[in-house]
């Protein structure tokens, strides 16, 4: 299995910002702007009070790389040539003083367009600064480039200290392939453009550097950053988080020497709406299963909350994240819950994130309501079923906040149709034969991690399950026994009149012992 050290808090917890023109008229006054983004609605009626800007965690990068969306083409070279100082193509960037109109709304042309207010959480600020300080002496790590730039750029905006800008420029030069100290990437394709997560990581990093430090760069540096953007288009038809993440990283406005940015954003929005915006199932789960829920929150919306308002289960998706793991919650971050908690009036979402070790993030400061009180789990049921057949699952626990609590979850539903990450019950990005098909005989199901043998389930005759079998989500029992106290978990399968051999499989890190017959196993108690 191929694992990358990626910037989940920034890239995946993307989220949406809302600006209510009627309720927050003073906020929209340029004189009172506390965030650097001003989105002015031409009418202050109910139908236009909710304006949402798509931005992969507050990026503003040039969208000229997406010219393949348009019938027209750029006059600049398709593949810019870079030298030691990231010199730009002959087409200069336009002035940021020019009015920008996006989807009928006037966008504040100054930079940075999206950045937390300076009167933010002192505790989180201290944590972010500490993390930025720890990153300063680290060697270049391309897969952590966006995290580096986000936190050091935030520190730079709050302090104006030149050491932060210098470190970001080192990262930019290295990732651009202009460093003479070390080689970067693959020869001829340094950003691994066939895998769009890699491209997106670099777009995020360049976007932060470009927007948050826009005034600090020289014109040559700024244009060099802008033009070092790659282009690919296969992701336009991918249904899942690859589409969301990548489009989210590109569909933002920056210096645009061609005039295509405004026309392009509308197309990018429609693309996201047609694909990952529809990836919530009927019970609030993400189509790629809970492990990929973190991408669910990048949803591109037009001048209203089309996707949030029209999809009846968007407000339930936070429950999917909160219920998918035990008390330790050993998984990637999801700070966009802070936004959804505020938007839907579900304080449990926001409160559940505030104490997390990864909560201190520049984007968290945008979304968190510091007035929230109480414990997030007080009113939550201990058991919850997500019953949509496309990806049904259930989680049960003895307590929410006890580190020694009992937790158990079971997955049902369809085995295919989970975008590019289906297992026979999370994936390897570079295994031959992994992506082409979900057919029964596809190479994918031969990999242990993906086939039935690699799941916690019953296997018959040493064979994989039938991949296109209809999901069964119902309860039938000839014997039911009431349990007490939630002190134990009993999983019991009774198989009668079996025609084939069967095996009950479970994966665990615990040390176990087998009985002499080999039919039972016990966990070895901790010393």
Determine contact, residues 171/149, Cβ cutoff 8 Å: yes
**Rounded to the nearest 10 degrees, what angle do helices 219-227 and 196-212 cross at?**
160
Q: How far apart are the first and last CA of the chain?
A: 32
Give me the residue spans of the domains in the chain.
8-367
DSSP per-residue letters across 338-381: HHHHHHHT-HHHHHHHHTSTT---HHHHHH--TT--S-TTTT--
State the CB neighbour count (10 A cutoff) for residue 401. 12
pTM, full prediction: 0.58
Q: Residue 101: beta bridge partners?
A: 106
Q: Would you state the structure tokens that stand for residue 2, as one six-digit string?
A: 């191929």
Contacts of 124 (CB under 8 A, 6+ apart): 359, 360, 361, 364, 365
If we measure between CA atoms, which residue out of 264, 261, 221 comes closest to residue 109?
261
Element containing residue 156 per DSSP (H, E): helix 145-159
Q: What is the pLDDT of residue 423?
A: 55
If we measure between CA atoms, which residue out of 58, 85, 88 comes closest to residue 169?
85
Q: What is the pLDDT of residue 513?
A: 93
d(CA 481, CA 488): 13
Q: What is the mean pLDDT of each run of 10 residues along the chain (527 residues)?
A: 27 27 27 26 26 27 26 29 35 46 55 55 82 88 76 85 89 74 61 63 76 83 68 48 50 48 57 61 64 46 44 72 68 71 82 79 77 81 82 83 82 62 46 63 79 86 81 63 72 80 85 89 82
Q: What is the pLDDT of residue 361?
A: 81
Question: What stretches of 368-472 show up as alpha helix (H) in DSSP?
Answer: none
Going by their DSSP bridges, the two strands 105-107 and 502-504 should be labelled as unpaired
Q: What is the pLDDT of residue 516?
A: 92
DSSP per-residue letters across 222-237: HHHHHH------GGGG
Alpha-carbon distances, residue 257 vs 103, 113, 161, 263, 417 (angstroms):
19, 18, 30, 13, 41
Determine contact, residues 272/279, Cβ cutoff 8 Å: no
Phi, psi of 248 (to 5 degrees): -60, -35
Q: Would you state the structure tokens that stand for residue 11, as one six-digit string?
A: 């890239």
CATH fold of 8-367 reads Glycosyltransferase (1.50.10)
If we measure between CA atoms, which residue out of 240, 242, 162, 167 comes closest to residue 199?
242
d(CA 142, CA 148): 10
Q: What is the pLDDT of residue 299?
A: 40
- Cα dihedral 353→327→480→391 (10° resolution): 50
Q: What is the pLDDT of residue 417?
A: 57
Long-range contacts, 292-295 (Cβ 8 Å, 24+): 292/240, 292/241, 292/419, 292/421, 292/426, 293/317, 293/320, 293/321, 293/324, 293/334, 294/8, 294/12, 294/13, 294/321, 294/332, 294/333, 294/334, 294/336, 295/12, 295/14, 295/240, 295/241, 295/244, 295/245
Q: Would you state the structure tokens that stand for residue 354, as one six-digit string?
A: 């505030």
Q: Residue 19: beta bridge partners?
A: 51
d(CA 247, CA 11): 12
Q: What is the pLDDT of residue 431?
A: 55
d(CA 302, CA 36): 20
Fill in the DSSP letter of residue 526: P
DSSP per-residue letters across 253-310: ----SSS-HHHHHHHHHHHHHHTGGG-B-TTS-BTT-GGGGGGTT-----SS-HHHHH
Q: Residue 504: beta bridge partners?
A: 458
């Amino acid at each position: 299995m191929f694992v990358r050290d990626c910037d989940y808090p920034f890239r995946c917890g993307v989220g949406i910002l809302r600006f209510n023109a009627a309720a927050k008229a003073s906020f929209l006054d340029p004189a009172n702007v506390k965030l650097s983004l001003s989105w002015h609605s031409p009418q202050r009626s109910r139908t236009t009070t909710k304006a949402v800007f798509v931005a992969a965690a507050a990026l503003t990068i040039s969208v000229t790389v997406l010219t393949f969306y348009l019938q027209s083409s750029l006059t600049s070279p398709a593949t810019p040539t870079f030298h030691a100082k990231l010199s730009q193509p002959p087409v200069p960037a336009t002035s940021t003083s020019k009015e920008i109109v996006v989807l009928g709304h006037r966008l504040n042309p100054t930079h940075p367009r999206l950045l937390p207010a300076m009167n933010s959480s002192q505790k989180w600020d201290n944590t972010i600064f500490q993390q930025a300080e720890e990153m300063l002496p680290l060697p270049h790590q391309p897969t952590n480039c966006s995290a580096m730039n986000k936190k050091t750029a935030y520190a730079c905006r709050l302090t104006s200290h030149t050491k932060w800008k210098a470190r970001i420029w080192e990262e930019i030069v290295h990732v651009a392939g202009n460093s003479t100290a070390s080689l970067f990437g693959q020869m001829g394709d340094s950003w691994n453009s066939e895998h769009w997560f890699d491209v997106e990581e670099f777009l995020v990093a360049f976007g932060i550097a470009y927007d948050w430090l826009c005034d600090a760069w020289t014109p040559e540096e700024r244009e060099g950053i802008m033009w070092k953007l790659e282009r690919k288009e296969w992701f336009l038809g991918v249904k899942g988080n690859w589409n969301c993440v990548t489009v989210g990283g590109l569909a933002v406005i920056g210096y645009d020497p061609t005039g295509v940015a405004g026309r392009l954003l509308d197309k990018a929005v429609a693309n996201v709406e047609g694909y990952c915006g529809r990836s919530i199932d009927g019970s609030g789960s993400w189509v790629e299963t809970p492990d990929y829920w973190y991408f669910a929150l990048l949803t591109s919306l037009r001048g209203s909350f089309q996707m949030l308002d029209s999809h009846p289960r968007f407000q339930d998706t936070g429950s999917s994240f909160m219920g998918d793991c035990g008390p330790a919650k050993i998984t990637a971050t999801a700070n966009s819950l802070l936004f959804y908690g505020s938007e839907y009036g579900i304080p449990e979402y926001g409160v559940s994130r505030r104490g997390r070790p990864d909560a201190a993030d520049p984007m968290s400061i945008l979304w968190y309501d510091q007035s929230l009180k109480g414990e997030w789990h007080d009113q939550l049921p201990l058991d919850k079923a997500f019953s949509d057949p496309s990806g049904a699952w259930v989680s049960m626990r003895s307590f929410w906040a006890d580190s020694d609590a009992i937790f158990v979850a079971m997955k049902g539903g369809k085995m295919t149709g989970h975008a590019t990450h289906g297992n026979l019950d999370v994936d390897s990005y570079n295994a031959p034969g992994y992506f082409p098909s979900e057919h029964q005989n596809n190479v994918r199901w031969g990999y242990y991690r993906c086939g039935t043998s690699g799941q916690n389930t019953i296997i018959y005759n040493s064979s994989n399950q039938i991949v296109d079998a209809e999901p069964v989500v119902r309860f039938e029992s000839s014997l039911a026994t009431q349990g007490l106290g939630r002190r134990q978990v009993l999983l019991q399968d009774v198989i009668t009149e079996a025609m084939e051999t069967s095996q009950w499989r479970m994966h665990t890190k615990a040390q176990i012992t087998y009985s002499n017959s080999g039919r039972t196993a016990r966990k070895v108690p901790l010393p």
